[in-house]
Amino acid sequence: MSDVSTPVTAAHFAYVAARTRGEDAFLRDLRTAAKDAGLPPIHIAPEQASLVQILLKLRGARDVLEVGTLGGYSAIWMARALPEGGRVVTVEASPKHAAFARAWIARSDVARRIEVVEGLGAEALPKLADRSFDALFLDADKAGYAGYLAEARRLLRPRGLVMTDNAFAFGRLFDARATDREVPAVRAFNDHVATLDWLHAVITPIGDGMWTGVVDDPSPPARGGPSPGG
């Protein structure tokens, strides 16, 4: 036992990955097809996906909201963790990505559990009903994260699960020379989350770092209401 966490290295990540349930042939084929179709190769790691599934099962989640579908890879992982009748509503801004995701989701074993909503997250989320989801997974434009999270406070049921990808800014969190505009956006979002009084969260050092938290707010604001503390 130690009062200081063990520093995580690339060797630790490889060790974890080698001992975690991996992806199946269908998901491997999806990644290959996505690359061939010109989609960015930025799917979550299988070990991160496995952790997401565990968290969803522990929460007993039935309704999951995802912002950032890409090729449907993470949506399929999550849908497989849900009980019969569960659903993943996943929002994708790119028509090309949404079309690819729909095609592959239709071929999956969880096609009936996933709905792809094409459009900007900032426009799609306000149209969703209050307290209609048990969990949120964010993996979209980093500058939009704070706005999506604020909207999710209304959308999530009590003790709702929040998972947000890329807390390590694509491995460049501490790179003072990083030129990607997403890097400062991630840093700003990380600082923002650390101040929220309604979300109990911690960055989990897996994949590219994932904020993992629970809504600790018995009375979230109603649609159009103020959002104190965040």
Per-position pLDDT tens, the chain of length 230: 567 888 888 898 889 888 888 899 999 999 999 999 999 999 999 999 999 999 999 999 999 999 999 999 999 999 999 999 999 999 999 999 999 999 999 999 999 999 999 999 999 999 999 999 999 999 999 999 999 999 999 999 999 999 999 999 999 999 988 888 899 999 999 999 999 999 999 999 999 999 999 998 766 666 654 443 44
Rg for the chain, CA atoms, rounded: 17
pTM, 2 dp? 0.91
Q: How many CB atoms lie under 10 A from the CB of residue 127?
A: 9
Residue 88 CB contacts under 8 Å (≥ 6 apart), including other chains:
64, 65, 66, 75, 78, 79, 82, 113, 114, 115
